[in-house]
């Protein structure tokens, strides 16, 4: 989404208000341990895209819970923001933490061949013969 300085500032405000709403105003047990990672606001303030993170095994349940509560959350957000227009609300699952975890685990179990010295072509260099 196209952003400018004002819409980024409004995104921070929307993130604060939406975080409060998800924490204190919505009492759906499927939304426990959900983290609001970011918000983007369109330039005309007509759309808020909220990114949420959760455990990878709960993606479907959290998406369904957010879809169920979307109308109430949108209404509460409109009142909290006080803008002339109540923005449309879209939730997206943010899987970057899971992707980072996957990369971290892959790097921990790197094959031993990565530490072998290679030439410019990427081929392993032959060990130097021992002089006797």
Give the Cα separation of 78 and 53 in Å (integer). Answer: 23
Give the Cα separation of 16 and 57 in Å (integer). Answer: 26
pLDDT at 116: 79
- pLDDT category at 100 given cuts 50, 70, 90 is confident
Predicted structure pTM score: 0.76
- pLDDT category at 99 given cuts 50, 70, 90 is confident
Instruction: Tell me the domain boundaries of the chain.
Output: 5-95
- Sign, CA dihedral 15-2-89-63, equals negative
**Which fold does the domain 5-95 belong to in CATH?**
GMP Synthetase; Chain A, domain 3 (3.30.300)
Residue 122 confidence (pLDDT) above 90? no
Tens digit of each residue's pLDDT (9 = 90 or more) over 82-94: 989 999 999 999 9
Average pLDDT, the chain: 88
pLDDT at 130: 64
CA distances from 117 to 51, 71, 112, 126, 130 (A): 43, 59, 11, 9, 18
Least confident of 21-25, 47-51, 94-98: 94-98
- Total number of residues shown for the chain: 132
pLDDT at 110: 73
Mean pLDDT of 101-124: 81
């Amino acid at each position: 989404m196209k952003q400018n300085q004002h819409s980024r500032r409004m995104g921070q405000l929307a993130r604060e208000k939406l975080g409060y709403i998800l924490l204190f105003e919505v009492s759906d047990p499927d939304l426990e341990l959900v983290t609001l990672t970011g918000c983007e606001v369109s330039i005309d303030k007509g759309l808020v895209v909220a990114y949420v993170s959760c455990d990878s095994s709960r993606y479907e349940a959290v998406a369904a819970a957010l879809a169920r509560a979307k109308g109430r959350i949108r209404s509460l957000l409109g009142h909290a923001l006080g803008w002339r227009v109540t923005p449309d609300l879209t939730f997206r699952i943010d899987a970057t933490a899971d992707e980072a975890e996957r990369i971290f685990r892959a790097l921990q179990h790197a094959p031993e061949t990565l530490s072998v010295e290679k030439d410019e072509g990427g081929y392993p260099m032959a060990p130097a013969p021992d002089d006797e």
